[in-house]
Structures are given as C-alpha cells and as structure tokens.
Amino acid sequence: MKARNALIALMMATGLTIAGCGEEEGPAEEAGEQIDETMEESGDAAEETTDEIGGEVEEGGDEVEEETDN
C-alpha cells in the first residue's frame, strides 16, 4: 500500500513538472530575456567605445613620440 501511494505521488509530481514546462513564456521570462538583451547591447556599446578611445590614445601617443624624436 505504501509503495502504491509513493508511486501515485511520484506520477503526480512528474505530471506537474512536465505541465510546468510549457512553451509559453511568462512575464518574468520575457523580462529576463529583455534584461539579457539590454545588457548584451550595453556591453557591445562599451566595448566599441573603449576600442575607439584606445585607438585615439594610441594615435596620440604615436604623435607625441614622433614630436619628441625630432
């Protein structure tokens, strides 16, 4: 009898778990995806900006080096 009840409980838990894994996204999932996308875009923008600044600093350093060599 105990094994039967345990089996029934396990089957119900499995069924509820599978039912909870639906394909529809809830508002929390959508918000999380939006946050992920925003953070990725921000990271890309920051990387682009630092690359541009790094290039400008390097060019400025080259100019200073050329001026001091002359």
Cα–Cα distance for residue pair 35/42, rounded to 1 Å: 10
What are the φ/ψ torsions at residue 50 (nearest 5 degrees)?
-65, -35
- Please tell me which residue, 45 or 24, carries the higher pLDDT value: 45
Residue 52: pLDDT above 70? yes
What is the number of other CB atoms lying within 10 angstroms of the CB of residue 38? 10
Each residue of 1-36: pLDDT tens digit?
Answer: 678 888 888 888 887 676 666 667 788 889 999 999
Spell out the alpha helix ranges (H) of the chain.
2-19, 27-69
Q: What is the pLDDT of residue 21?
A: 64
Q: What is the pLDDT of residue 20?
A: 61
Q: Residue 15 is encoded by which pair of tokens?
A: 């069924």
Q: What is the pLDDT of residue 31?
A: 93
Rounded mean pLDDT of 46-67?
A: 92
